Amino acid sequence: MISFNYENKFSLSNESLLSKWIQTVISSEGFKLGEVNYIFCDDDYLHKINVEFLNHDTLTDIISFDYTVGKIIQGDIYISTERVEDNANDFKVSFDNELQRVLVHGILHYCGYKDKTDDEAKIMRSKEDYYLSQLAQIE
């Protein structure tokens, strides 16, 4: 089950489409969906989590807590909509495009993809681009 939770004034207008897409990504990667919670929040909310749980005193767009067991994807994905908006402006893409990239980014981490090295980041970006193109076909 995928659930979308809101800790700020943001809300998705297309939850069912995004849920279907995320489930497709999970199955395409050879995993099964357990329970994934997306929590949309502001910078302050996510910054507190970053400091408290990760000892990182920085702003970020996404923090994911991975509870995956074997091939069953489970976790909590926190997304700062303020960071997503700023990043969309910086990268000169739409807010929706950047948000979709972040949504799939968290899931790809749960599927085992990393982004710490340049090579890992290149593979992650390629996977994101591929699944973003798949979303366009679902819409």
Give all domains of the chain, ordered by start, each with its CATH number.
2-138 (3.40.390.30)
Give the C-alpha separation, 139 to 129, whole Å. 16
Annotation-wise, does 47 bind a ligand? no
Residue 107: what pLDDT? Answer: 97
* pTM (predicted TM-score): 0.93
Residue 136: what pLDDT? Answer: 81
Task: Tell me the two tokens of residue 5.
Answer: 């939770």
Give the C-alpha separation, 50 to 63, whole Å. 8
Annotation-wise, does 76 bind a ligand? no
Annotation-wise, does 109 bind a ligand? yes
Residue 137: what pLDDT? Answer: 80
Task: Tell me the two tokens of residue 41.
Answer: 């929040």
Query: For helices 95-110 and 118-138, what crossing angle results, to 10°?
Result: 120
Q: What is the pLDDT along the chain (139 residues), one digit of tens a residue?
A: 999 999 999 999 999 999 999 999 999 999 999 999 999 999 999 999 999 988 889 889 999 999 999 999 999 999 999 999 999 999 999 999 999 999 999 999 999 999 999 999 999 999 999 999 999 887 6
